[in-house]
Amino acid sequence: MDRPAAASPVTAREIILEIVRNMQEGLEPLHYSTLAPAVYHVYIHPADMDRLRGIVPRIVDEARRALDAELESLNRASLAERLKLSRRSEPQIAPPDGGWQVTILENTDDDAEPGDIVIYSELAMPAKAEFGAGSMTKRIATRRMGGAQTAAQPVYEKAPEAADPAGQAACATIEYEDNSGRKTYRMTKDEIVAGRGGRDYWTDLKFDTLPDVSREHFRLRRDPASGKFFLKDLSRLGTTINGEKAPSSVEFVDGEKRDRNLETPVPDRARIGLAGVLFLEFRNGVKPAGEG
């Protein structure tokens, strides 16, 4: 996919304006109120981070102030509304209960360029009937790539602990704790993709964590005949199984990334490490012969 010509290094003000834009595009009207994203993960190129690192706390503080100001502006009634000559078409926007949570991180993706800003925000949603019981998360992605803005891309997701369909037995269980808390994922199909996810990266198991973890970090496959599991490492910074580094399935040939289709057996109980920053407790859901 073609990308716009490289832009100049990003400025602190541009980061703040993009956070505000993400909030505007991620609003979710309910009946009596409108919800705004509360959590913002901002990714910038390492060169931009090196230049701005010393003022990151100030950027975060002013981003929160800018979000407050924009929320107040959006909620401000017009003169006609104050005189009760018209009715508001949308319910007022409620500020997040825990305040605005903003983090600025380095973007280690291969296609990142100086000047790029990638923002992922999150907002908790009531359960939707078509997804079954359980809470929902609305993730909103906005980007300024090569100086050009892209429209928000909202994605609705169920919480991982409610991911398995009702009545369907899990073939494996994965427990972990990322930036959004402790979670349990029940694997109900023979192959999943795990990682941070992204615009062009589908993940069954999506982590809210540092960009050290790749967007598509590993694939986990179950052999239906034997019930055994195999892991394919697709990451930049590596995957470990019980402390042992799994061989990478990725190689670069003439500058192109290729998958060698190299898998590593996973024991029935294993601790899987992602880039040394996130650890998963894996359990095979199929009991070995002889166990009650």
85-102 pLDDT tens trace = 555 566 889 888 888 989
CA dist., res. 198 & res. 187, Å (int): 21
Compute the average pLDDT of residues 271-279.
96
Residues 111 and 177 in one domain: no
- Answer yes or no: is 37 within a domain: yes
Residues 197 and 86 in one domain: no
Q: How many domains does the chain have?
A: 2
- Please give the residue range of the domain that contains residue 66: 12-158
Q: What sign for the dihedral angle of Cα 166, 167, 170, 173?
A: positive
What is the reported pLDDT for 71?
94
Dihedral pair phi/psi, residue 79, rounded to 5°? -60, -45
Residues 93 and 173 in one domain: no
What is the reported pLDDT for 158?
55
Select from 125, 158, 191 the last residue of a domain: 158
Residues 110 and 210 in one domain: no
Compute the average pLDDT of residues 191-195.
92
Residues 26 and 154 in one domain: yes
Residues 251 and 144 in one domain: no
Residues 204 and 114 in one domain: no
Q: Exposed, middle or buried: residue 157 (CB in 10 Å: 0-12, 13-18, 19+)?
A: middle
Question: At which residue do the structure tokens 């505000």 appear?
Answer: 20
- Asked if 233 and 248 count as a contact pair (C-beta separation under 8 A), the reply is yes
What is the reported pLDDT for 57?
95
What is the reported pLDDT for 283?
96
Compute the average pLDDT of residues 16-32.
93
- pTM (global) more than 0.85: no
